[in-house]
Structure formats: structure tokens, C-alpha cells
């Protein structure tokens, strides 16, 4: 007998596999086998579809073995259905034997990869990690908000330091020059006049030489307070340099600026200072005119101030372009 005849020899039917031709038995066996074949045919396609979509999972080999195992199981049930009419039990046995081999190999690799499967985070663990990340995110946001507040606070401090003179507490040279530049731009655009005062302490070097630089700083601080108390809230006073102070007077013509300068001069003259120090000041006044820049206006006020110095100090002089001292 040839091998092909042996494969299809119904005499090889094992003991106990004979079915009675009853419809209920046929329905149970054939129905069960048919549904199993359908399911075992769909499962391998589902596995490969899942792996194609989830390329991050590295279990391709094991999945292929498992798919083969399922396919062979389906084939054995299909052979069982055929054997109801034709006794191809040798073929069915060969399929079952192949299914057994694939099952053994699949089980081997399954247990070999078991530590990897065990280390895959569970839903509960992932939820816990997610909650921990949310807590960390909230803490990070709070830290960022705190840092932003500190940065804003520090930026404000630096702005105050940059715009405030450390000795006198009035505007720094940078800040007062910015105010002057703004006033010039306002004049050029809206023709709003303004004036400036250049105030200088007379014989200030003698104060430093006689009483020391700390006393000199106190004198400058008191002078700044005196000037600030005699000007409006819209006016700005700043330390221009050394013992010189620049006062910007928005919406103020030269005449009104001159009257204010005289009040400041008298107030400074009557100041009660530490160490029985008495001081006077000289003031140069200049009003804005068309075609004059901020630097040009300061130059005019400086020339008026030097005229007051040459005239004996403790005086207020308004710039006069007709004077030869310019």
C-alpha cells in the first residue's frame, strides 16, 4: 500500500470515533467543530492586525507561533468534520501531532518571556503612575508660578535700582534723562511747552572736605527732599551727577519755572542740616523752544547755572541766548 493510499485509508480509524447517524449528535459535533473552525480562523488575523497597529510591541515571534497553534487547532477541528463522512484519520492525526509540536514550542517561549510579561505595567499601576505624574505636574506648575513671581519681583527691584539714585532716593540720571526725552517728544508732537531747572549746591566740596563724604551724602539727600517737597506730583527731579540735580517741569513756561526755582533756592537756604551745615544753591532755568533737543536744553540750563555761579552763587538765572556766555 502506498503512502497516499495509507493517508486516505479509513481502516485507520481509532477506537471510539464512530458516530451514530443521529441528527442531534451530528448537530452537536458538526456545529461545535464548525464554530471552532470559524473562530480559530479569525483569531490569527486578529493577532497580526493587532501587531501591525502596535508596532511598539516586540513579540512578533511568539505571536506567529501562537497564530500557528490556533490555525492548527482549527485545522484539526476541520478534519474532524470531514471525518464524519470520510475517515481520513491519518491526516487528522498528523495535524494534531503538528499542533502538539507548535503548542510545545509556543509554551516554551511563553514561559521564557514570562518575566517580560510580568513586568508590563498593569492598568492600576499605570493609573497610579499617571496620578503621580499629575501631582508632579501640579508641583512643577506651582514652582514655575513661584519662580515667575520671584522673577517679576526681582525685575521690579532692578528697575527701581536702575531708576532710583541710591544716595538721594530721587530719579537716577538714566530715569531723569528718559523723562526729559519723553517731554521733548511730547513737545514736538503736541507742542506742549515745558521747562527744566539745573540745581547745583554751592561750595559742596567744602562740605565733603570739612565733614566727610557721609555728611555730604546726607546733605544731598536733604536737598533732594527739599526740591521734591516744592514741586508738583507731575514734575520729576533726578540726580544728574555729583551735586547737580535736574528738574523736569511739564506744561510749565519759563516764567513759572523761574518762580519755582526761586522758591526752591529760598527753601534750600533755610534748610536745617546735620552738623550745623548750611548750604545754598544756584539754579539755571531754560524753557523748551522749537528745534532744541534734550541735550541742547540741558546745555542751555548749564550755561544759565554757570552764569549764576559767576554772579556770586545762590542765585536763579534764566538762559538768555543774547548773552555772550553761551
Give catalytic residue positions.
243
The DSSP output letter for 13 is P
Give the separation between CA 189 and CA 267, rounded to whole angstroms. Answer: 35
Give the separation between CA 8 and CA 83, rounded to whole angstroms. Answer: 11
Strand bridging mode 316-318 / 281-287: parallel
Cα dihedral 311, 314, 320, 323, rounded to 10, equals 10
The neighbour count for residue 183, using CB atoms within 10 Å, is: 23
**Would you say the C-alpha torsion 150, 151, 154, 156 has a positive or negative sign?**
negative
**Of the candidates 217, 214, 231, the residue with the CA atom closest to the CA atom of residue 283:** 231
Helix axes 294-310, 173-190, angle to 10 degrees: 110
Residue 160 contacts by C-beta under 8 Å, 6 or more apart in sequence?
none
E strand or H helix at 198 = strand 194-201
> Which stretches of 164-246 are DSSP H helices?
173-190, 204-211, 213-229
Residue pair 26/19 in contact by the 8 Å Cβ criterion: yes
Residue 82 contacts by C-beta under 8 Å, 6 or more apart in sequence?
88
Amino acid at each position: 500500500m502506498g503512502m497516499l493510499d495509507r493517508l486516505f485509508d479509513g481502516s485507520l480509524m481509532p477506537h471510539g470515533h464512530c458516530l451514530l447517524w443521529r441528527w442531534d449528535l451530528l448537530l452537536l459535533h458538526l456545529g461545535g467543530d464548525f464554530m471552532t473552525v470559524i473562530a480559530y480562523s479569525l483569531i490569527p488575523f486578529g493577532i497580526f492586525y493587532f501587531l501591525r497597529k502596535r508596532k511598539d510591541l516586540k513579540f512578533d515571534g511568539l505571536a506567529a507561533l501562537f497564530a500557528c497553534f490556533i490555525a492548527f487547532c482549527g485545522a484539526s477541528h476541520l478534519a474532524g468534520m470531514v471525518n464524519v463522512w470520510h475517515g481520513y484519520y491519518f491526516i487528522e492525526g498528523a495535524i494534531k501531532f503538528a499542533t502538539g509540536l507548535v503548542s510545545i514550542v509556543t509554551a516554551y517561549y511563553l514561559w521564557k518571556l514570562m518575566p517580560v510579561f510580568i513586568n508590563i505595567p498593569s492598568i492600576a499601576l499605570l493609573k497610579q503612575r499617571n496620578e503621580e505624574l499629575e501631582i508632579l505636574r501640579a508641583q512643577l506648575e506651582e514652582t514655575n508660578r513661584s519662580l515667575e513671581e520671584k522673577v517679576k519681583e526681582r525685575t521690579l527691584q532692578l528697575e527701581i535700582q536702575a531708576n532710583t539714585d541710591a544716595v538721594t532716593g530721587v530719579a537716577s540720571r538714566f530715569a531723569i534723562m528718559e523723562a526729559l526725552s519723553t517731554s521733548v517728544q511730547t513737545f514736538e508732537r503736541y507742542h506742549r511747552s515745558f521747562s527744566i531747572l539745573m540745581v547745583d549746591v554751592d561750595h559742596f566740596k567744602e562740605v565733603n572736605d570739612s565733614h566727610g563724604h557721609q555728611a555730604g551724602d546726607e546733605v544731598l539727600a536733604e536737598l533732594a527732599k527739599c526740591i521734591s517737597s516744592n514741586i508738583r506730583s507731575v514734575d520729576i527731579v533726578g540726580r544728574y551727577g555729583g551735586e547737580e540735580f535736574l528738574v523736569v517741569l511739564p506744561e510749565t513756561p519759563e516764567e513759572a519755572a523761574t518762580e519755582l526755582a526761586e522758591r526752591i533756592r529760598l527753601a534750600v537756604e533755610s534748610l536745617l542740616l546735620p552738623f550745623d551745615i548750611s548750604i545754598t544753591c544756584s539754579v539755571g532755568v531754560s524753557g523748551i523752544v522749537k528745534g532744541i533737543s534734550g541735550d541742547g536744553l540741558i546745555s542751555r540750563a548749564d550755561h544759565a547755572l554757570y552764569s549764576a555761579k559767576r554772579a556770586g552763587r545762590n542765585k536763579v538765572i534764566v538762559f538768555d541766548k543774547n548773552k555772550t556766555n553761551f
